[in-house]
Structure 1
Amino acid sequence: MGKVTVKNLGKAYKSYDGRWARLAEWILPFARQRHQLHWVLQDIGFQLEAGEAVGIVGINGAGKSTLLKLIAGTTQATTGSVAIQGRVAALLELGMGFHADFTGRQNAVMAGQLQGLSGAEIEELMPAIEAFAEIGDYIDQPVRTYSSGMQMRLAFSVATASRPDVLIVDEALSVGDAYFQHKSFERIREFRRAGTTLLIVSHDRYAIQTICDRAILLNGGKLEMQGDPVEVMDFYNAMLAEKERQTVRQERLADGRLRTISGTGEASITSVALLDDDGRQLEVVEVGTDVTLEVRVAINAPVSRLVMGYMIKDKLGQSIFGINSHRLGMPQADLQPGEDLVYRCRFPMNLGKGSYSVAISLSRLDSHLDTNYEWRDYSVIFHVINTRHPDFVGCAFLDAEMAVERSHDRASVSKDGVTA
């Protein structure tokens, strides 16, 4: 149970030149067609195995929410089909299905019935719904008095009161406070461990990369890319920076990882290396060792302002540390073709054991989303080992010290500091 199969799915809406054209087509159904089809989704096909988690990403208008509605069955497809095995729970648009004049409790009952739960099941689950939503006495107040966050709390609590075979979540969670978002994602993780199939839309890179087994990128209503969440999110971020599809490319590295490179090319990265104090290139680094990240840059066209930044990421693609020359007060100005620059960034390798990568950015301002000259993921891949320090846990080495004072040690010292 929980398998989802999407085949050749498409959704189009009719567009008319004016209201009279719509009326004429309705009155004369066998006359000439008076509308054009506006496709928001075309030729979408993929499959989710039972227990798999898939994230859907894309810019606004890419068709993400429409796709979820088609899968959930709240919108009818123009072409293609969706087949789902098992019970589905969907959290789509905020407040979707809620009646503003009914109380939260009444809306919870109706929403539960729409999910296929019986009256007895809903009554049994109601205390758990109230406890998870944490909206107090508002549960018996009209929903029109709720804030958006309270609506989301109630909607999520109802949708997840009983573990579904398939859980579909749109971006509604983004309106909640940090506490409830954390609580909600923990419930999603619990469902995943229990075998629920998950389909989620989110702009949160951390959520996609930590929860999902696979990611799907939609672009202009079509399936642009699907695969490893880190690789898909790298490509998606490059698209956001570019807005020009032809300047984004990907390369398969020797270790199988997919590197994303984007940029307009006025400035380009010629080499990146992680070096020790003797200038030797490092692939394996001991915890706490001082290293230098050397980045060489070529100027290919006039550049009024240049900012170089780097981001260290762990093996899951999560950001560990990032800084750039703008934040350090070191932007370079009025660069001409033929010039080259060498950036040397020195820092102690105070990271935990594991595999890491470095992404490099060349831009005009603080963010590569504004005039991206080049963005390059996996510029350097290195491994951190620990043979000289206590075997600590985590991604940061704090070189912490510890002192212990036992009660009998204190008792053996007299008030004047002389041992009794």
Structure 2
Amino acid sequence: MSLDQTTVAPRALLEVRELGKAYRRYRNELMRVASWFSPVQPLDETWILRDINFDVAQGEAVGIVGQNGAGKSTLLKMITGTLRPSEGYIRTHGRVAAILELGMGFNGELTGRQNVIHSAGLMGFTHAQIDSAMADIEAFAEIGSYFDKPMRVYSSGMQMRVAFSVATAFRPEILIVDEALSVGDAYFQHKSFDRIREFQRQGTSLLIVSHDKAAIQSLCDRAILLEQGRVLEDGLPQDIMDYYNALIAKKENDRVEITPLASGQIQTQSGSGEASVKQVSLHAENGNAIDVVDVGQAVELRITVAIHANLPELVVGYKLKDRVGQEVFGTNTWHTDQVERELSEGEELTYRMRFDANLGPGSYSVSLSLHSSDTHLLNNYQWVDHALVFQMVNMEKDFFLGSSWVMPAIECERHVAISSEPNESV
């Protein structure tokens, strides 16, 4: 095969192999010091992470998700070198920039400008490099005169602005972010995500820990789910986030089922099983079942629910997602004030939800939830992802971009501009 026919995979900028972290307790400090040189049996040990393996390729964005205590922050601290692994190794290629715990490394008595100099110096940059970037850092942070005031008077959002600005002043090969962006205002979050995407286009790899489903699905190429210190799943962001939500539901002693679909996606189901979806289908106005929908077409989502136990109330909800798992629209019968009460085992209910499919062309899925109260996180009878998949096509409407059809009525008036300058005599 000739060289121009060979597909070369992007090289891994980050390699994690057999990684583990344990905290050990010894009889005394002398025994701890002795353990540095020869094996010493500790009184007890607690493993935070064990057998972690993954790569991050150049330009790839990977999300790390998991419940509190899963080991996410410990993993990032080992990758950045602030913690030493107990076993395994980490190999990085290129400079790593990290935004971990908010304010880490900042001195509250120093000004924002002084903290930038200090932090950038610790990152290995020279005074000349820092001076050349200072104006850009100050402009990107957009905190005005506070840049020259002590950081102890900053809000958490202002600290995050400075931390992100200095961490990304010079494009790193690997950028690591641990929940820090969640404290910022919406404007700065958009601004930060734009910079991250631009870095990705230039080859920077991203490792991000976040509970923000939208951030993980919009930024990341894949996601890794940690559970009790181990990698539980590594895959597409939308599949991993669905699995993660199912794990949260499992805390309520719900059953969780993971089913591979023919499309290559993963269907996640969870719930106590006291009610279940018996059938779901999409119909045109004439009643025919359809899986291809024209933009703006009137459709009916038909859901049949079977009741397997006496229930005080039932709420049925649905959520539309695009092909990458971004939520387009969702509601439930709690919010529409249509809760069914006092249901008996053996009953069946059929819901008909009619709406105009004002969606952009592409593939969409329907997630369904059966529960009580306003959210499926409490009393979850059943949650089903990818319960139905349908395709949107544009057969009659004018061309448009995006996931929603909100075509405007456009008017334009033409007129001769009237000059405000006084007339001059010739």
The answer to whether TM tops 0.5 is yes
1:76 to 80, 84, 108: 84
Measure how far apart 1:34 and its partner are.
5.3
- 1:418 is matched with none
- 2:212 is matched with 204
Q: Would you say the 8 A contact 1:2–1:165 is kept in 2?
A: no
The SS at the match of 1:262 is strand
Q: Using a 3 Å threshold, how does the CA distance of structure 1 residues 159 and 385 change in structure 2: closer, same or farther?
A: same
Deviations 1:42-81 (A, max 9, x none): 1111011111110101111111111000001111111110
For residues 14 and 107 of structure 1, the distance between their equivalents in structure 2, rounded to whole angstroms, comes to 35
For residues 181 and 139 of structure 2, the distance between their equivalents in structure 1, rounded to whole angstroms, comes to 18
For residues 28 and 59 of structure 1, the distance between their equivalents in structure 2, rounded to whole angstroms, comes to 35
- 2:200 is matched with 192
2:341 to 326, 333, 355: 333
For residues 395 and 138 of structure 1, the distance between their equivalents in structure 2, rounded to whole angstroms, comes to 40
1:3 aligns with 2:3: no
Q: Would you say the 8 A contact 2:296–2:356 is kept in 1?
A: yes
1:39 aligns with 2:47: yes
Aligned pairs (5 A) from 1:373-412: 373-407=381-415
Q: Would you say the 8 A contact 1:304–1:334 is kept in 2?
A: yes
Q: Using a 3 Å threshold, how does the CA distance of structure 1 residues 31 and 187 change in structure 2: closer, same or farther?
A: closer
1:12 to 19, 22, 36: 22
Give unmatched runs, 5+ long, in structure 2.
1-10, 417-426
1:88 aligns with 2:96: yes
For residues 42 and 166 of structure 2, the distance between their equivalents in structure 1, rounded to whole angstroms, comes to 43
- 1:150 is matched with 158
Q: Using a 3 Å threshold, how does the CA distance of structure 1 residues 103 and 47 change in structure 2: closer, same or farther?
A: same
TM-score normalised by L of structure 2: 0.90
Percent identity of the aligned residues? 51
Root-mean-square deviation over aligned CA pairs: 2.0
Residue type at the aligned position of 1:174: S
For residues 380 and 294 of structure 1, the distance between their equivalents in structure 2, rounded to whole angstroms, comes to 11
1:260 to 240, 263, 268: 268
1:370 aligns with 2:378: yes
For residues 393 and 24 of structure 1, the distance between their equivalents in structure 2, rounded to whole angstroms, comes to 67
Measure how far apart 1:399 and its partner are.
4.5
Measure how far apart 1:24 and its partner are.
7.8
- 1:357 is matched with 365
The SS at the match of 2:216 is helix
Q: Using a 3 Å threshold, how does the CA distance of structure 1 residues 112 and 367 change in structure 2: closer, same or farther?
A: same
Report the number of matched residues: 404
Residue type at the aligned position of 2:19: L
- 1:121 is matched with 129
Q: Using a 3 Å threshold, how does the CA distance of structure 1 residues 162 and 2 change in structure 2: closer, same or farther?
A: farther
Measure how far apart 1:141 and its partner are.
2.1
TM-score normalised by L of structure 1: 0.92
Q: Would you say the 8 A contact 2:269–2:382 is kept in 1?
A: yes
Deviations 1:351-375 (A, max 9, x none): 1111111100001111111111111
The SS at the match of 2:239 is helix
